[in-house]
Structure 1
Amino acid sequence: MVSAPRAIPAGRRERLAPELLRSTFPMLVLRMQDPKDQSFYSQLADALAAIPGIYRYAPLVIDLGDLAEAPPFNLAELGRRLRQHWVVPIGVQNGTEEQNRAAVNAGMSLLLDEGAAAAAPQQGVAAPAAPDPDEDDEEPVAGTGSRTKLITRPVRSGRQVYAQQGDLVVLASISPGAELLADGHIHVYGALRGRALAGVSGDTTARIFCHSLEAELISVAGYYRIRDDMPEDLIGQPAQIFLDHERVRIEPLG
């Protein structure tokens, strides 16, 4: 028997407690070199124009690690200029104490460096959200020291799969519009369509391997190539993708 909805007495409203959920999202990282170089913004605009829509409204972290000795600059203005190019600066990392104060004053968050330990769950904070039922095809890889993520079924359009601090292995094909991300290597034992981004945390030795190269975009450590820039003779063929002197190279596999 189906119970009738519980009536709420007049004048009373149920209050829903807010939930704080832990989650990990891959983000773009912008490594600043010279914030006062005006050519930086035109170069950024050119890079984003080459891949229209892919990173539109994408969250972005500003890495200030190379600017420890730089003179003070206006972080709020930098954030405004970045938003003009349809990316959303949400925080900074590796900043000095002065730069961190400026970031907070500009409404940005401070991100822990890569080696920092995550805080333990506290009483009263909701547990992490339940796994997506569509991700029940993920299996641990026994006998490996790294955090390898194994996907055994096709990755459909619109889905994003991220292997944090490890490699991503997919034993099926990737649909157009899907996105693969890994801090390490990406292996696709099928057709690689959609987008594949390896070394997203900056590992320049990361590689992408696939049985059939049909991708919309490939990227290693932030360097990318789009479909129109890929060798036609390798489209639909087994291939490996890697960095060679800050240029993305595509070579036959095997």
Structure 2
Amino acid sequence: MSAHTDYAQAGELKFGQVGIANLRIRNLDVTQLVAEMRDRVQRAPHLFARAAVILDFGGLSHTPPVDAARALVAGLQEAGVLPVALAYGTRETEVLAQQLGLPLLAKFRAQYERNDTSPAAAPAPSPTSAPPAPAPSTAPAPAVNATPGLMQTHPVRSGQQVYAEQRDLTVLSTVGAGAEVIADGSIHIYGALRGRALAGAQGNTEARIFCREFYAELVAVAGNYKVLEDIPAELRGKPVQVWLDNGQLKLAALD
């Protein structure tokens, strides 16, 4: 009789939404970049200390040489953050990622550079082809129901994350400290916001954040963010809305 074999997995692998900061490199000045990240960690250590960061070199005209990229990775680690991957861009970026021993994450590039989705022009009719027959008269198509937003009825507790993909998010309770709510659209919170709220996650600059009691650790719209230390003290505990105005993140008390 053959011995019993245990096929139970030692580790269960799952894929899900992960909140990771994306550092878009616009000027490859390693000293300045490291100083900026060190300042962010010092101002908001509970958010950025030991935080995972994606490096996106898409804002540069050329992919940086491996020595400069290694110096940047080492400097960021010394500043207190952890570069964990590169945002996918070009074949040169892929080679650089291999040289650095880091993976590539394609979705971060998609948030900045979208493919042209305009429909292709219809081909001109052949001179010898007959003109198309007129389309038969049909009744108007029924209205299509809009995709409803995601409704979160229970509190979002520390360590939890709720993501509303391609829609708004409504939270009927509180968002606790250390919790994170993300939406590709707007976010409405009918309780206290003590954790993080990121609206317009895929680049929607028209998205907004609304909450009844504002104590947020971090708020962001289309990647533009503020941490609690940057927010006027008079807004804390008040009903607040957050939006973008000409690329600047604005906060104001709701009447």
Which TM class, normalised by the smaller chain length? 0.7 to 0.9
Q: Distance in 2 between matches of 1:111 and 1:198?
A: 21
Question: Contact 1:241 / 1:251 at 8 angstroms: preserved in 2?
Answer: yes
Structure 2 counterparts to residues 1-254 of structure 1, below 5 A: 14=6, 16-17=8-9, 19-69=12-62, 72-74=65-67, 75-113=69-107, 114=110, 143-145=145-147, 148-254=149-255
How far apart are the structure 1 equivalents of 2:250 and 2:152? 26
| SS of 2:72 mapped into structure 1 | helix
Letter in 2 for 1:144: A
Q: Give structure 2 stretches of 5+ with no counterpart.
A: 116-143
Give yes or no for contact 1:190–1:210 (8 Å, CA) kept in 2.
yes
Task: Give the distance between the partners of 2:64 and 2:100, measured in 1 at CA.
Answer: 18
State the TM-score, normalizing by the size of structure 2. Answer: 0.72
Cα pair distance change 1:108/1:186, threshold 3 Å: same
1:73 Cα shift? 4.7
Structure 1, unmatched stretches of 5+, are 1-8, 117-141
In the alignment, is the contact (CA less than 8 A) between 1:68 and 1:96 conserved in 2? no
| Structure 1 residues 226 and 21, CA gap change in structure 2 (3 angstroms) | closer
Q: Secondary structure at the match of 1:38?
A: helix
Match of 2:35, SS state, is: helix
* Mapped partners of 2:49, 2:167: distance in 1: 26
* TM-score normalised by the chain length of structure 1: 0.73
For residue 59 of structure 2, give the secondary structure of its aligned residue in structure 1: helix
Return closer, same or farther for 1:232/1:59 CA change in 2, 3 Å cut-off: closer
Shift of 1:166: 3.1
Residues 1:57 and 1:15: Cα distance change in structure 2 (over 3 Å) = farther
Q: Give the 3 Å change call, closer, same or farther, for CA 68–166 of structure 1 in structure 2.
A: farther
Cα deviation, residue 31, structure 1: 0.5
Aligned residues: 219
- SS of 2:45's equivalent in the other structure is coil
Q: CA RMSD in A?
A: 2.9
Q: Report how far residue 13 of structure 1 moved.
A: 7.1
Query: Can you list the C-alpha shifts for 1:81-136, whole angstroms capped at 9, x where unaligned?
Result: 222233222222242212210111211112224379xxxxxxxxxxxxxxxxxxxx
Measured in 1, the distance between the counterparts of 2:98 and 2:26 equals 21
Q: How far apart are 1:193 and its partner, in Å?
A: 1.9
- Note the C-alpha offset of 1:32: 0.7
Q: Aligned in 2, Cα 1:55/1:168: closer, same or farther, shift over 3 Å?
A: farther
1:70 to partner: Cα distance? 5.1
- Matches of 2:19 and 2:216 in 1, distance apart? 19
Structure 1 residues 86 and 144: CA distance shift in structure 2, 3 A: farther
Q: Quick check: 1:68–1:95 contact (8 Å CA) kept in 2?
A: no
Question: 1:176 aligns to what SS in structure 2?
Answer: coil
